[in-house]
Structure 1
């Protein structure tokens, strides 16, 4: 299938601007005076199994409780520890959280807290009536579930902090389908220019935070990604100085593309996606802290089946994470509060623009075909209102001020 993001690249390549930023320069983590994270400083690991973190309905309509197993270094006295939330592989149709118990154990022995999560697997009819829609929907169900798991920990941090997690060092990762989920947790957000069909899937699954738990007042942001043989729908979802990422991938992977190729779901090719090679190249071009370990081979994750290769890969990942935790310039990412916001009144079918600097703009509204719908010159932020007398769909608002363009996205439902 032709990649469905291409037409949006062509229309908006000159107008999509950097909205997210990285906050640097915080103090080093208190544990960085030791060799924690890069060597096995713990012998044993304790596991809290079957911890309930969410609930949601499967594609087949089954009400499913979502559990995780939490791995901690036994005997650890640290009270503020980095967390890695991991998801297993299995093409979104098979696999269990115990499949990556060995990865979680490895990280826990290095001083991390690691959580292996359930996420909903496809249990609808075979073959699906629309393979692409079913595959994208299943992927986003996984994103919704992982975000709920991350919020579980952030809620705990704000309360008793039973698991002694440092909120500035929460990482997402996984293998294959699990890595695809983690990549989109890290890079897919409401500021991106996204095709309407994908926006509809996101909307049907509770929006950008998902609906797998009700605690959406807590953040699901992550400070880094561990990508084992994963991909992303489009590297244009990545922004300047975005979330750091560590990737490992075989260069002739037949299942998940190393470069650009088709993702499969339940043995159906559903959509073209960008693999680790393109993620690495895009990250370099956007000054995103990243590392790619390329494996010469034609397997899918075969490096995890070889004890020596697996140890070398996991060693590299902890060195990468250690650099994020212990470098004074790379140890935290967060998204800045925007000076400009869209305030939409669904009841009045209108919108305003909030601007903390109270500026005037030339406002231009485009549809996703790149056609201009209207222009409102000398639009007064915080005062003027635009009535939305347009068909349902997705629109791009461009606010022009002193030769600077500020893009916003408008969704009419």
Structure 2
């Protein structure tokens, strides 16, 4: 009888150990997170100065990196987090959010880093005209803002793959990159996961004004002017020569292996095809 009780105690102990066991990438197995701020992943043109009557200007594309303290892995899967904000600067967007320092995105990043991921909270270009007098201009400038955000996050994915060939200072696994967006960032994440080419957005709802004066409405986004969706081609305004898209990390893949959307939406269902990565989407019913 004593032997039976001993075995029973042993089995219960093993069961408790199993319940308490934690698994990397599923549980928070690290206690601390190291944060590296303002890592530059690219450079491109911002149109925000245009809203103030100035010319477009180059700006660095930056991100804050989070990684677990005490990690012994040589490479870690990458999660690129994207904040919300309506493609406008904080406060001008009518909210107290819209930056890579937003508390909700920082909290999410810390939790994921404690699970063992390399987390990049990436900034992206902002700017459109919500107070334009015509609906046409408001829509067209907003679509262009979303397109620039898409270009930036594709650039960010290529940055990690390029840096892996340059000593891999971030210990990033370029074969496992997730794009994860919240709100406005969710729109970008979906676009990054599904858009394969510029022609995918040449749809009736994305046709705008007549830009060249030939009497025919033109697409809201034109590849020679705005660059391709991946920001691997030069985009030039033919009217004044302004550079609207600067290629970054050309030659590396922009592919994502997973897309997570929290509160965003897909631009058009026609973008989805069998070649897209798995997608997880959350929406809060109201």
TM-score normalised by L of structure 2:
0.72
Match of 1:58 among 43, 46, 55: 46
Correspondences of 1:189-204 after superposition (within 5 Å): 189-190=196-197, 193-195=200-202, 197=206, 201=221, 203=223, 204=225
Supply the distance in 1 between the matched residues of 2:85 and 2:34 (Cα, whole angstroms).
26
Query: Is this contact kept in 1: 2:46–2:125, CA < 8 A?
Result: yes
**Partner of 2:163: helix, strand, or coil?**
helix
Q: Deviations over 1:251-287 (max 9, x none)?
A: xxxxxxxxxxxxxxxxxxxxxxxxxxxxxxxxxxxxx
Higher strand fraction: Structure 1 or Structure 2?
A: 1
Higher helix fraction: Structure 1 or Structure 2?
A: 2
2:14 maps to which residue?
none
Counterpart CA distance in 2 for 1:149 and 1:184 is 14
Q: Does 1:218 align with 2:252?
A: yes
1:66–1:118 CA contact under 8 A, matched in 2:
yes
Q: Separation in 1 of the partners of 2:162 and 2:87?
A: 27
SS in 2 for 1:150: helix
Paired with 1:51 and 1:128, the residues of 2 have a C-alpha distance of 38
Q: Partners of 1:216 and 1:62 in 2: how far apart?
A: 21
Instruction: Tell me what 1:96 maps to.
Output: 99
CA distance in 2 between counterparts of 1:128 and 1:120 reads 23
3-state SS of paired residue (1:155):
helix
Give the SS at the match of 2:261: strand
User: Do the aligned partners of residues 241 and 147 (structure 1) sit closer, same or farther apart at CA in structure 2, a change above 3 Å counting?
Assistant: closer
Does the Cα contact within 8 Å between 1:58 and 1:123 map onto a contact in 2?
Answer: no
Residue 118 of structure 1: aligned partner: 123
Give the SS at the match of 1:201. coil
Q: CA deviation at 1:219?
A: 0.9
- Residue 126 (structure 1) shift: 2.9
| Cα deviation code 1:298-319 (max 9, x no counterpart) | 2xxxxxxxxxxxxxxxxxxxxx
Instruction: Give me the whole-angstrom Cα distance separating, in 2, the residues matched to 1:212 and 1:47.
Output: 28
Structure 2: tracts of 5 or more residues without a match: 1-21, 51-55, 90-97, 208-218, 232-244
How many residue pairs were aligned? 220
Decide whether the 8 Å contact of 1:192 with 1:237 is kept in 2.
Answer: no
Within 5 Å, give how 1:1-400 maps onto structure 2. 35-59=23-47, 60=50, 61-94=56-89, 95-99=98-102, 100-122=105-127, 124=129, 126-127=131-132, 129=134, 130-190=137-197, 193-195=200-202, 197=206, 201=221, 203=223, 204-210=225-231, 211-240=245-274, 242-250=276-284, 297-298=285-286
Structure 1 segments, 4+ long, off by >4 Å, are 196-200
Provide the rounded CA distance (Å) in 2 between the counterparts of 1:53 and 1:163.
Answer: 12
Alpha-carbon separation, structure 1, partners of 2:108 and 2:74? 22
Measure how far apart 1:186 and its partner are: 0.5
**Separation of aligned partners in 1, 2:133 and 2:58:** 20
1:159 Cα deviation (Å)?
1.9
SS at match of 1:184: helix
The residue that corresponds to 1:327 in the other structure is: none
* TM-score normalized by the length of structure 1: 0.50
